[in-house]
Amino acid sequence: EMSEMSERSKQNVAHGLAWSYYVGYLKIVLPRVKTSMEEFCRASPNLLACRKTWKLHILVPLSCDVCDDLEKADSNIQYVTDLTETTLARAGTRKRVYKHSLYAIRDEENQLWHCAVEYATPLQSLYAMSQDECAAFSREERLEQAKLFYRTLEEILKGSKECADAYRLIAYEEPEETETHFLSREIVWHLQQEHREEIAVLEDNHPHTPSTALDSADLNLQISVSDLPQPLRTDGF
């Protein structure tokens, strides 16, 4: 009965997507990210001088609007190359390839910042569900599920020793009015924070908590500590 109630209210969708994303993808690729970065830096030492950026930057747009081509999403984002790929046998597929792309992000002062960045692909499923009559998934439900996905994924990754310091989640709400370079500014902001964190570590200081970034505290979602997610809160976001 509880399972049927959960199915009807769609409370388990984002929870399942987050766990599937972690177990089926992030837990596989994140432990190998720094090795790929090290290999790349041996050939191009100047592009990734800040070790704090040696991680996978995961974009989480709460609109679930995922663009397959980052260069088309923002002209200040330019593809550079692919990092060393990982090849594994997976679920019957021999030599399944996992790889990440490195991008150059141009800021407002025309400076280039380099990082590996990609969207959280399960958001495409949430978006598709909101467009499919069979799923009966409203835009409001999609937004709440996107926030729940982010909070659940954040909690999972925080508890993962294998993935520690190998990722950065970048959750954001797109502005109502179109801004040509909103995405590049969002990514650059996080890269700047990572540079400051590295400087703080070198100076043996603790970095300050960002005051303008969209983080889990801003999302005001109640995440269940049990196997079944609890009803979402919508009063604070």
Which of the four pLDDT bands, split at 50, 70 and 90, describes residue 10?
low
Question: Would you say residue 1 lies in a domain?
Answer: no
pLDDT digits (tens, 9 = 90+) for 178-194: 788 999 999 999 999 99
Q: Flag whether pLDDT at 221 surpasses 80.
A: no
pLDDT digits (tens, 9 = 90+) for 37-75: 998 888 887 778 788 899 999 999 999 999 999 999 999
Question: Would you say residue 213 lies in a domain?
Answer: no
Q: Flag whether pLDDT at 229 surpasses 50.
A: no
Any idea which of 45-59, 95-109, 163-177 has the lowest mean pLDDT?
A: 45-59
Structure confidence at residue 79 (pLDDT): 97
Q: Flag whether pLDDT at 235 surpasses 70.
A: no
Structure confidence at residue 138 (pLDDT): 79
137: containing domain = 9-204
Q: Determine the average pLDDT of the residues in 109-137.
A: 87
Question: Would you say residue 103 lies in a domain?
Answer: yes
Go through 192-229 and write b for each residue having 16 or more CB atoms within 10 A of its CB, e for each that does not.
ebbeebbeeeeeeeeeeeeeeebebeebebebeeeeeb
Q: Are the CB atoms for 228 and 205 separated by under 8 Å?
A: no
Structure confidence at residue 213 (pLDDT): 53
Question: Would you say residue 172 lies in a domain?
Answer: yes
Which of the four pLDDT bands, split at 50, 70 and 90, describes residue 214?
low
Q: Determine the average pLDDT of the residues in 14-42.
A: 93
Helix axes 122-131, 139-158, angle to 10 degrees: 160
Tell whether the torsion through CA atoms of 142, 216, 172 and 78 is positive or negative. negative
Question: Would you say residue 2 lies in a domain?
Answer: no
Task: Give the CATH number for residue 187.
Answer: 3.40.50.12100
Question: Would you say residue 15 lies in a domain?
Answer: yes
Number of domains making up the chain: 1
Q: Flag whether pLDDT at 227 surpasses 50.
A: no
DSSP states of the chain: -HHHHHHHHTTTHHHHHHHHHIIIIIHHHGGGHHHHHHHHHHH-TTTT--GGG-SEEEEEETT----S-HHHH-TTEEEEEEPPPEEEEETTEEEEEE--EEEEEE-TTS-EEEEEEEE-THHHHHHHHHH-TTTT--HHHHHHHHHHHHHHHHHHHHT-STTTTSEEEEEE---SS--TTHHHHHHHHHHHHHHHHHHHHHTT-PPPPPSSS--HHHH-----SSSSPPPPP-S--
* Residue among 112, 74, 118 at smallest CA distance from 191: 112
Question: Would you say residue 81 lies in a domain?
Answer: yes
Question: Would you say residue 224 lies in a domain?
Answer: no
